[in-house]
Chains A and B, each alone.
Chain A
Amino acid sequence: MPNAAKGDGYTVFYAAIVCILCSLLLAVAAGGLRPRQEQMVELDRKFNVLKAFGAPVADAAGRRISGAEVEKLYNERVRERVIDAEKAAVVEGRSPAEISPADLAARRLLPLYEWIEDGRPTRFAFPVSGKGLWSTIYGYVALDGDLRSIVGVTFYKHGETPGLGGEIERDWFQNQFRGRELLGPEGFKPILVAKGAAGMAAQDPARVVVDGISGATLTGKGVTQFLNADIARYEAYFRTRRAGGG
């Protein structure tokens, strides 16, 4: 090998050049594409808010509506609000995008999305997130106008195992939540992603039980845990809202 004769210095120099060139290329590609990627992520978020609301996000053949249509539907129908968790009241004049990461992480300020029909909110959605097995899972829960039952649940951003925990983003899993009565005699009933005897547990009137995913017990546990925790954070506001204090 002629290159071996060039010695260690050459090898180190060569490795350095390759590394620098490759990282430069990656930096340019990642930086150049970031605005567009963020736009896509934001569009996906809006799509999932609409999906949680049960809005028509797919055509008759089951294909997703276009980005422009998502944008249009969202702007027409969805009103973004910010809730102060402690005061259980709307913070006027602010949008969820302006909530600082610290406030969001501490759940001091909570985003709320209202589905507007004839100028009045008829459904409510809010973000939920928490740990699954490998990753933080993000999703939305939408409730009906009386804040009694679930209109829809979506999970859209996660790093769970494809085919196992990753199934949470599938319709068959998410559709199980649809139409379930969430409000019990003493506030919101706990949600349980059940393992095994889901058929029997589904009859349990004190809980909302959905069928878990085989091979994804820990993802299910995570979903159970963060759904209940995040729903509970909105309970105070929803109670005042239900009492007419909106």
Chain B
Amino acid sequence: MASKLAKTFADPLSESNPITVQILGICSALAVTVQLKTALVMAISLTIVTVGSNVVISLIRKSIPGRIRLIVEMTVVSTLVIIADQFLRAYLFEVSRQLSVFVGLIITNCIVLGRIEAYAIQNPPLPSALDGLGNGLGYGSVLVLVAIVRELLGSGKLLGFRLLPEAYPNNGLLLLAPGAFIVLGLLIWTQRTLIGKFDTE
């Protein structure tokens, strides 16, 4: 039982990572990874929402009428996302400004609804929470990795602190969306090569 729970948590971190393997949530992964700070806040917000919605849906999974299942799920997700957004506005005003629409767009993030439909709707709360945590962190770790590469090579800084010498010519391409595509592509390639499970030929 314990090992099964561990697998529920660990799988989405790498082998079934929502971004690099399932290719979900790409839109926000491109948009919020210019700086590490926004990527971290986004990762934490999405993890909280995924865990929260997984647990809530799992708790009420037996009582949800089938015909309004998706509506109930979306209502729960939207509520959690708006609450998260309100907290960001109150406590991390500057970051929430930079994240702009992307916090609100967690509502439509495929990962959140995907985990509810694929897992929480038919599993008890504890494994559902772990599943949400694993997927949130799996998403978050990719965001953070991409953001580290982009902020470091794009503006020579990390979390606003200059790490590379002033003489380093900032690579402007990495700050633009195509830069994120390239970094993400390389990351997916590296990961799939390392795991070696995804031979397409």
- Whether, in the assembled complex, A203 has its beta carbon less than 8 Å from a beta carbon of chain B, the answer is no
CB distance from A180 to the nearest CB of B (A): 26
- A26→B65 contact, CB < 8 A: no
Residues in A lying within 8 Å of B, measured CB to CB: 1, 3-4, 6, 10-11, 14-15, 18-19, 22, 25-26, 29-30, 33, 36-37, 40-41, 43-44, 61-64, 162-163, 166
- Whether, in the assembled complex, B200 has its beta carbon less than 8 Å from a beta carbon of chain A, the answer is no
- Whether, in the assembled complex, B190 has its beta carbon less than 8 Å from a beta carbon of chain A, the answer is no
CA distance A25 to B157 in the complex (A): 39
- Whether, in the assembled complex, B67 has its beta carbon less than 8 Å from a beta carbon of chain A, the answer is yes
Interface residues of B in 92-113 (CB under 8 A from A): 93-94, 100-101
Which residues of chain A are near B162, meaning CB under 8 Å?
Answer: 61
CB distance from B64 to the nearest CB of A (A): 7
Interface residues of B in 70-89 (CB under 8 A from A): 71-72, 75-76, 78-79, 82-83, 86-87, 89
Which residues of chain B are near A33, meaning CB under 8 Å?
Answer: 86-87, 89-90
Give 5 A-B contacts (CB < 8 Å), ordered by A residue.
A4-B65, A18-B75, A22-B76, A29-B86, A162-B100
CA distance A10 to B66 in the complex (A): 11
Known: A3-B63, A26-B79, A44-B93. A61 touches B160 (CB 8 A): yes
* Known A11-B68, A18-B75, A29-B82; 6 more pairs at CB < 8 Å: A15-B68, A25-B79, A33-B90, A36-B91, A62-B160, A63-B160
Interface class of chain A by DSSP: helix
- A40→B90 contact, CB < 8 A: yes
The range of chain B's interface size is: 20 to 34
CB distance from A206 to the nearest CB of B (A): 34
- A3→B72 contact, CB < 8 A: no
- B65→A18 contact, CB < 8 A: no
Residues in B lying within 8 Å of A, measured CB to CB: 31, 62-68, 71-72, 75-76, 78-79, 82-83, 86-87, 89-91, 93-94, 100-101, 157, 160-162, 177
CB distance from A45 to the nearest CB of B (A): 11
- B67→A64 contact, CB < 8 A: no
Contact of A6 among B65, B89, B91 (CB under 8 A): B65
Which residues of chain A are near B100, meaning CB under 8 Å?
Answer: 162, 166
CA distance A41 to B90 in the complex (A): 9
CA distance A6 to B101 in the complex (A): 40
Contact of B83 among A26, A43, A62, A166 (CB under 8 A): A26
Contact of A29 among B67, B75, B78, B83 (CB under 8 A): B83
The closest CB in chain B to the CB of A24 belongs to B79
Which residues of chain B are near A62, meaning CB under 8 Å?
Answer: 160
- B64→A3 contact, CB < 8 A: yes
Which residues of chain A are near B71, meaning CB under 8 Å?
Answer: 15
Contact of B66 among A4, A61, A63 (CB under 8 A): A4
CA distance A150 to B27 in the complex (A): 39
- B160→A3 contact, CB < 8 A: no
The closest CB in chain B to the CB of A1 belongs to B66
- B66→A3 contact, CB < 8 A: yes
- A30→B93 contact, CB < 8 A: no
Which residues of chain A are near B83, meaning CB under 8 Å?
Answer: 25-26, 29
Which residues of chain B are near A6, meaning CB under 8 Å?
Answer: 65
The closest CB in chain A to the CB of B93 belongs to A40
CB distance from A67 to the nearest CB of B (A): 9
The closest CB in chain B to the CB of A3 belongs to B65
Which residues of chain B are near A64, meaning CB under 8 Å?
Answer: 94
Which residues of chain A are near B67, meaning CB under 8 Å?
Answer: 4, 11
CB distance from B39 to the nearest CB of A (A): 15
